[in-house]
Structure formats: structure tokens, C-alpha cells
Structure 1
Amino acid sequence: MSSSDEIPIEYENLFKLVIVGRSGVGKTNLLTRFCDNEFFNSPMSTIGLEFRTKKLQIKSVEVMAQIWDTAGQEKFQAIPPTTYRGSQGVILTYAINDLNSFTGLHKWYEIALQYCPTDTKFLLVGNKKDLDSDREVGFEVAEKYAKEHGMLLIETSAKSSENVELAFITLLKQIFDENISKKNKINDENQKVKKVSNSSKVIVIQKDKPKKKIREERKNETGCC
């Protein structure tokens, strides 16, 4: 594992994302473009795992995105399972000019489903939109796949930066809204419990006095011997 950033130890709104897909689809360039607004023309292969962090605002709230870039090479397939743990979002990535990168997405999706939390959000990203003239994956075909699996599709170009920020922000907003919904639900449940607790009355049951005790009290009141 390597990174130019330190892992945030404590952050109230820390959202973990994982970028997956075949080697060469531009996962690392997507991450670099989003975090640093940079693009490298030379081919880049991730060895093992790398992550970056970026602070940004979602609906006026500061959040920290921790984004993991997975290796696409087959020999590194044993690494992702531990990386998926605790992730709130997964970006399934293919290149629009590489049909094999799209048809092979099912294995990445299945692995993610196996190891991610059940409420993890997914986003389908078709990268290398700048190579539209060499397109092998039609937008309609990819959109159908996305709808069948309950996710959105956004086509990007890490080279020109087109829709890169939109893709990350879209996924982060989905996660943010989900978290807010969960917090509101917890608060509502706590309020219900509090109301029930405040409305409860403690009933004290007074036990009958023993007959001997009653006779003694009456004797004292009348002064009778």
C-alpha cells in the first residue's frame, strides 16, 4: 500500500470510496484528476493498492473522501476483499473504447457485493470519453447495465477532465444523503423512546397494614385501655 496522504484517524464525515475495473481503464488518472487536477499521458499501473484523500463540501457540510485505487492486474485479485471493508461507495470503471473492460465488469461487481456493506452505493463510470471515435461500448448498452443493477452511469474523460468531478460528487452526495437519512431515523427513534420514558408513571402500591398494627393505632387514638 502506498499513498501521499495520511489516513484520517478521526473525521465525522469520512466517506470511503473504492475504484475498481480492468487494468488500463484509467482508474489512477481519474483519481489524480479529481484530487490534483493532473493527468499523465504515459500508461500508469497501480501496484497493489493506493489511496488518496480529499476534503470538499457537500450541501455546505465539510466531508473527507478517502478513495482507494485497486490494481487491475489478475495477479492482484486477492487484494481487494480487505479493501472493500467499510467502503460506502464503489466506482465500477471501464473504458468506452475497450469492450472487454466492460464485459468483465461483472466479476468486479460480484466481488464488491460479496465484501462491501449491504448499503454501499455503486456508480458506473465509462472513462476515456475523449476517444469517442474509437468507441466500442455504446452509451445505451452501458446505461441498460447500470439500470439493471440500480446505479447511475456517467461517462468521463480523465484526460480532458470532463465529468470527472461530477462522477465523484454524484456518488458522494448519494452517500451523504444516505447518512443523513440514517441519522434522522436514529434521532426519531431516540425521541420516541424519550417521550415514552417521560410519559411513564410510577405507581406505588401501599400494602395493607397488619390487623395487630391497626388495633394498636385505634387504641392510641381513643385512649382506651
Structure 2
Amino acid sequence: MSISDARPLKIVVVGDSKVGKTTLIHNYLEQTQGRLSIQKQQLDYQIIQVQIQQNEYCVAIWDAVGLELQNQMNRFLVKDAHVVMLCIDLSKQILIQSIYTMMDTLISYCQEQCQFVLVGTKQDLNSQNTQILNQFFLELQQKYQNLKLLLTVSIYNEDSIKQAFQKTFELGASLDKSSITILQSFILQRNENNSVLKKYSNRESKAQKHDNCC
């Protein structure tokens, strides 16, 4: 089946800086697609074809790398996502209020049907935090009905990463969303994101110049 015949599925991976988002994506892609070229490693999204429940899907995996959830770039990035993977660093203290804040922000940006997956990264570095997150997850689900899964991963357990993405894809495939022209959708989203990012960078540059001269 050609890519134009496959069903579209958009996954966005978000989280604080250095939580391991990019490593998570690259590890999964290298397991399933082979070694990534330097050019592909520099892209903020990857498009792959996968089979889910006997149906072919064209999956766009977006990496919200180095960007805070509240900025305009990420608002455009997640607005039409099928599933958002919110990554939490298990090697650091778990800040419950921070997770609430991130979830509230994401829900305000996303479509009503968007589903959410909480992903605990660096599981091998702090088993106690894994237990804390497991206990807290039930409380989170009571408030956020679209928060469906809690998954923990480690780069030393490649199968945990592969399973995390597989379960996320299956969650996205379970949604009954109207189909759109895949390539046009991804290209338009990419152009829109680049335009917003350019404006955001220009504002940052002007702000820095102002700080330096005043």
C-alpha cells in the first residue's frame, strides 16, 4: 500500500528539556527503521508506515524538542494531534503540580478527542519515583479522562521503548477521526510550524539585543 492510501496518525512527544524525548524517538526509529542518517536525526518529525490491527497507517512522530509547552510553536504542533506523549524524567523529583500544569496546558491546545500518554523516562535511575508516579496516575486519570496510559521506559530496555510507541499507536488508531490528505496535512503543518518558530526566534533575538544594550 502506498503512503497516500494509509490512514494518518499524528503523535507528538512533549516534556521538559533534557527529559529524553529525542533519545526516545531515535531509539524507537533505529529499532524499527534502521540506523538514522544525520539529516534525519536533525528533523523535528519523522514519517513512518506501520500496521495496526490489520490496517496501514502513516504515522508522523513530532519531537517538541527544546521548546516550552506554553509557547506558540507547541500550540500549533499539538492542535491536531491524535495522541500526545507527555514525558516525565523519573531520575528527578516528581513535581505533581507541574504535571497538572502541563496537562491543563495541553488540553487547552488540543482537540477534544486527543488522547494522552504519560511516559516516565530514565526508569532505571530511580525505581522509587516509578512507584510514586504509578500511585499518582490514578489521581490524574480521575481529572483527565483522556489520559489513558502510563508507560515507563529506559534506554537500557529497548523493548520498553518499542512497546511504548506500539501502545501509543494503537491508542491513536482507536480514535474515529475523519481522514485527511496525509502528505498535504504534514507539509502544511510543517510550514505553519516553521513560520511560527521563525517569528518566535525573531522576538527572542530582539529581546536579547534590548537586554544587551540597556
TM-score by length of 1: 0.63
Mark the CA change 1:81 to 1:115 in structure 2 (over 3 Å): closer, same or farther.
same
1:152 maps to what in 2? Answer: 149
Mark the CA change 1:57 to 1:102 in structure 2 (over 3 Å): closer, same or farther.
farther
- Answering whether residue 111 of structure 2 is matched by residue 106 of structure 1, we say no
Bigger mean CA offset, 95-104 vs 10-19:
95-104
2:49 maps to what in 1? Answer: 55
Q: CA deviation at 1:146?
A: 4.3
List runs of 5+ in structure 2 lacking aligned partners.
Answer: 36-40, 180-214
C-alpha contact (below 8 Å) 1:87/1:116 kept by paired residues: yes
1:4-29 superposed Cα distances (whole Å, 9 cap, x missing partner): xxxx9845411001111111110001
Secondary structure of 2:158's counterpart equals: coil
Counterpart amino acid of residue 138 in structure 1: I
- 2:117 counterpart (112, 116, 123): 123
- 1:25 counterpart (1, 19, 24): 19
Q: CA deviation at 1:138?
A: 2.0
Secondary structure of 1:64's counterpart equals: strand
2:135 maps to what in 1? Answer: 141
Bigger mean CA offset, 131-140 vs 165-174:
131-140
C-alpha contact (below 8 Å) 1:54/1:64 kept by paired residues: yes
Structure with the higher helix share, 1 or 2? 2
1:176 maps to what in 2? Answer: 173
Mark the CA change 1:145 to 1:17 in structure 2 (over 3 Å): closer, same or farther.
farther
Secondary structure of 2:22's counterpart equals: helix
Secondary structure of 1:138's counterpart equals: helix
C-alpha contact (below 8 Å) 2:11/2:61 kept by paired residues: yes
Alignment length (residue pairs): 168
Higher relative contact order (CA 8 A, sep 6+): 2
Distance 1:137 1:99 in 2: 12
Counterpart amino acid of residue 174 in structure 1: L
C-alpha contact (below 8 Å) 2:68/2:74 kept by paired residues: no
1:206 maps to what in 2? Answer: none
Q: CA deviation at 1:123?
A: 0.5
Bigger mean CA offset, 170-179 vs 71-80:
71-80
Distance 1:101 1:68 in 2: 25
Distance 1:61 1:159 in 2: 31
